[in-house]
A and B are shown apart, each in its own frame.
Chain A
């Protein structure tokens, strides 16, 4: 269920199904529908803490998985990728995981399978391609297309 690549041991990414939280009564809901992003206090700005090291609260959508919404998925091919970060910039759900400008893989707990990452990938052949959700990633990589030749003038 977690991303391709290394996740920290504290990573709470996708630990629950969306909507599966405990349904507490009116007396226990937070005042004013104010939702905390993290448990406890941060000693520095959240932007300076890696996602897998943040102490996400149960209210945070990071802890919910929406993988079941997807019918096709992007598969990532490390051998072709040039780490241009285009997919990371364009992904509408911050589901491209990149550290120190090196692409690590896809957060399959939050990716909705929209295919924007594939559209914006500039390599030839593309380093990201869409496959059926049911297809095994290794099989997908084995069926990767060859480089396309430029048409003769």
Chain B
């Protein structure tokens, strides 16, 4: 029986430590991991908990991230509660097995500390790895600070393991800005946290010898499509369970989570849509701008990146007073508009309000995103709103040195 960990009502934890404590409290059966910056401390801390008797389960050090996720798939198919952590290149190396995990409907929990993808090699935070996972069939939840990294990690087990869902879940936090920034965190006591997560209920487990099963079967053109359709429906339908688990967590802790977080949107004339630790920067900027110039700025942040909350984004953007929206993508877009711009534009297209929408690429490789820059971009949205059309290129780069960089002019008139 695992030792109880003494916790204060308020602890000072960085995002990595917060995530590792949540994994410990969930009493995972198998963690297979290969540590990588900036998520290394999650694995390191977990290894220490295990070695010091705070964890009953197995901890397997493997030879690569591909092996780490493969070990997780095997252990989950065998019938255990399973989790791991990674970042960036490690995430990229896992990519093949991520699709196996979701297709096999194995509720693995993966803590992703977001980091840029090489080349050039970079250990700082941006959303390249998070975006790489967006078609992998996993549920993706985004934490903006340490407390949320802790809370969402606990909730991830409840959501993914729910019998109506049975899908793997990623919890994202930003490399360094969240993972290495010590903040006040209010943890649950071990028994309260475990009671919330609950005992693992195996489904089709390979260790049930009274009911032998085959996992990972091959399907060709006569069966593959039906299985992918069923999997997609489970992911889309997981919205209901996510909402339920968020509601139950609020009842337990008083902390409220929504699939789309929004701030000051009721009377907003312009809005900024963004993810991760930048959300708190944007909220501060919006508050300052409201005081300084009276420009009514609102912030919209998808808490749940997959399944993408088209329903709630549409609700947030379908406001008569809302004239211009800027979508901030912290990932090199690779010859397209940013993914957030594409998703949000698609959701907004079927609204009555149809606000002007533009795209900014920002913060690549950990480039700082300042309050002043956020305010500049917000004011630019006001210019679009006043003109009634996009007065700049549709896609622009924020905070990059050199001549102004942008793409695609609007076609007005």
Contact = CB atoms under 8 A, between A and B. Distances in A.
B223 A29 contact: yes
B233 A35 contact: no
B104 A33 contact: yes
A57 B222 CA distance: 20
Nearest to A32: B105
A46 B213 CA distance: 12
Contacts of B166: 31-32
Contacts of B1: none
B227 A34 contact: no
Interface string A31-47: 11111111001110110
Given A23-B222, A26-B230, A33 B213 contact: no
Chain A CB within 10 Å, residue with most, of B105, B166, B225: B105
Interface residues of A, number: 21
Which of the four size classes fits the interface of chain B? Answer: 20 to 34
A36 B212 contact: yes
A45 B210 CA distance: 7
Interface in B201-245: 203-204, 209-217, 219, 222-223, 225-227, 229-230, 233-234
Contacts of B103: 32-33
Given A32-B104, A33-B216, A33-B227, A45 B209 contact: yes
Main secondary structure of the interface of A (DSSP, over half): loop
A35 B227 contact: no
A23 B211 CA distance: 24
B102 to A, nearest CB: 9
Contacts of B229: 26
A26 B233 contact: yes
Contacts of B43: none
A35 B217 CA distance: 8
Nearest to A24: B226
A28 B105 CA distance: 15
B106 interface: yes
A76 B263 CA distance: 80
A41 B212 contact: no
Contacts of B104: 32-34
Interface in A37-90: 37-38, 41-43, 45-46, 59
A48 B233 CA distance: 40
Contacts of A43: 210
Contacts of B214: 34-37, 59
A23 B223 CA distance: 8
B227 A37 contact: no
B106 A32 contact: yes
A34 B209 contact: no
A5 interface: no
Interface of B: 103-106, 166, 203-204, 209-217, 219, 222-223, 225-227, 229-230, 233-234
Q: What 4 pairs across the A-B complex have the smallest Cβ distances?
A: A32-B105, A26-B229, A26-B226, A34-B204
11 contacts: A26-B230, A26-B233, A32-B103, A32-B105, A32-B204, A38-B212, A42-B209, A42-B212, A46-B209, A46-B212, A59-B214
